[in-house]
Amino acid sequence: MVMDLKSVFEISGSCEKFSCELSPEELALPEDRELERAVEIEGRVTNTAGIVEIEYVADFCLKYHCDRCLKEGKKKFSFSFRHTLTMELNDENDDGYIVVGNGMLDVTELSAEDIILEIPVLLLCKSGCKGLCQKCGADLNEGDCGCAVREIDPRLQKLKDLLN
């Protein structure tokens, strides 16, 4: 969705509300993550004494596989974002702004980038998931599989020998 913000930029005190959806195709998720349905986005663009800001909330539900034990899971997310918009940069070093050259802002593109950066890299089925046994593949959350005989690091073994 592209918003025409020229009038918001022109009129101090103005506010424009918006809502839109991001389809799974519009969000470039990694292969093992999936949107349950479209992302719901709701927000507004305000001009406060000449400072134009966009604020919005993105709600969605992700289907994924636990990064340790591969169990399938679902998780709800609600992210809030806020950016200051400008039609032109006065100071080239200032990269905190989003430049909307002609007053047209592609909300789809902006929100897709924001969301991808905010989704945690590591998604677990629960905090402290023990994962799978590297030897037999058993789910260690369900108990010890019996392969507990750890191979001892050779350096540690040397230390042990010294101590004995």
- Interacting residue ranges for Zn ion, rule: CB under 5 A: 66, 68-69, 71, 125, 129, 133, 135-136, 138, 145, 147
**Nearest distance, CB of residue 52 and Zn ion, angstroms:** 44
Q: How far is the CB of 135 from Zn ion (least distance, A)?
A: 5
CA distance 35 to 108: 16
- CB-nearer residue toward Zn ion: 6 or 135: 135
Shortest separation between residue 155's beta carbon and Zn ion, angstroms:
24
Token digits for 60? 């969605």
Closest CB to Zn ion among 17 and 74?
74
Evaluate whether 76 touches 61 at the Cβ level (below 8 Å).
Answer: yes
Q: CB-hemisphere CA count at 13 Å for 73?
A: 16
Which run of H or E residues covers position 160? helix 154-163
Q: Name the residue nearer to Zn ion (CB basis): 27 or 125.
A: 125
